[in-house]
Amino acid sequence: MQLTKKSLPERLNHIYDAIVVGGGAGGLSAGIYLQRFRLSSLIIDKGKARSFWMQELHNYLGLPPDTPGRVLLQQGKQHYTSLNGDMLNGYVEEVVDEGDRFAVRVKVGRKNSIYPVFRSKYLIAASGIIDNLPPLEDMQNVFDYAGYNLHVCMVCDGYEMTDKQCGFIAGSEASIEEMVFNLSWFTPYITVFTHGLFAVSDSMRSQLHNHGYRLVETPIKKFLGENHQMTGVELVDGSIIPLETGLISMGSRYHNTYLQGFNLDVKGSNLITDKMGRTSHPRIFAIGDLKVGLNQVVVAAGDGALAATQIWRDIRRESGSRRWEE
């Protein structure tokens, strides 16, 4: 059930089999499998998932390619709660390992916040990441287009950019190096924007020049367009550059602060797991964008199935098989 400030106290003495941090694509999938394994689970979600921001899920088998992420989440939540899974809107602040269980401290409510502590045997970290966006004076102007034709994920939306005039908004020279030449698989009509945030080396300048890609170092004042369709940018010097699409590549923030005390193995900022999603801590699993792998809904959903299945195996083995009792 959906827990509220009022109803949650009755769960404070319960030890869940698993608490899932994050109710995006990965967390909801894990929750559905956990409940179907007849385990008890709680999903804690602060909302605004990457999957929520996704306006169209283009590449998920079985769903029409214009399915909004919020529809997937709605459906997933309904499915999970119909299996009697517990769901709580809140922000996980801290997790403490108490030996054979975790104590999970949550901030609930923006106003008059309360800080309940829930307990579980296993933890699934499904809290994802969030993309950095170009810092403009009016951030609403960025939100008007980001996730529509101003994309953040080349694997998801490269196809949408095919042979279009594309603005590539980079966060560093490394992101140009890593992404621009791959982006050219979809479109060669690339203008690279640094937004005046970093210097570009001479060798990168000449590489871009040799490929015919333009480089704009003057900061962006605002994106132009209407109805969430970006048609270009205006720079701070007043000049206008027409575009048909864009790709933002400025890195991401990882939602992992509650794991800080654990010293888990990482590659860059991504958690390293085995093929079932187990991290270097035997009772902590990580799924979706937070772990090493491809940041895709279908992968996050698959990860959820694997992690839940492994947790079931662990718990089932420990408790042994049931007897037929009269």
Closest approach of ligand FAD to the CB of residue 156, in Å: 3
Residues 93-112 that bind ligand FAD (CB under 6 A): none
Applying CB under 6 A, does 26 fall inside the site for ligand FAD?
yes
Applying CB under 6 A, does 153 fall inside the site for ligand FAD?
yes
Applying CB under 6 A, does 45 fall inside the site for ligand FAD?
yes
Inter-residue contact 54 to 6 (CB < 8 Å): no
Task: Name which of 47 and 196 has its Cβ closer to ligand FAD.
Answer: 47
Residues 283-302 that bind ligand FAD (CB under 6 A): 288-289, 295-298, 300
Stretch that binds ligand FAD, among 55-63, 211-219, 225-233, 243-251 (CB under 6 A): 55-63
Please give the Cα distance from 205 to 246 (Å, whole number): 20
Residues 188-227 that bind ligand FAD (CB under 6 A): none
Fill in the DSSP letter of residue 16. Answer: E
Strands 166-170 and 190-193: parallel
Q: Which of 5, 15, 37, 46 binds ligand FAD (CB under 6 A)?
A: 46
Applying CB under 6 A, does 124 fall inside the site for ligand FAD?
no
Both tokens of residue 148? 């529509």
Please give the Cα distance from 66 to 68 (Å, whole number): 6
Q: Is 297 exposed, middle or buried (0-12, 13-18, 19+ CB in 10 A)?
A: buried
Fill in the DSSP letter of residue 119. Answer: E
Q: What are the C-alpha distances in Å from 15 to residues 42, 101, 167, 196?
A: 10, 8, 50, 52
Q: The dihedral of CA 237, 242, 245, 247: what is its sign? A: negative
Task: Name which of 23 and 85 has its Cβ closer to ligand FAD.
Answer: 23
Closest approach of ligand FAD to the CB of residue 298, in Å: 6
Applying CB under 6 A, does 91 fall inside the site for ligand FAD?
yes
Fill in the DSSP letter of residue 289. Answer: G
Applying CB under 6 A, does 230 fall inside the site for ligand FAD?
no
x/- track of binding to ligand FAD for residues 239-278 (CB under 6 A): ----------------x--x--------------------
Give 284's contacts (C-beta < 8 A, 6+ positions apart).
Answer: 122, 123, 124, 125, 259, 262, 264, 278
Contacting positions for ligand FAD (CB under 6 A): 21-27, 44-51, 53-54, 57-59, 91-92, 126-128, 131, 147, 152-153, 156, 255, 258, 288-289, 295-298, 300
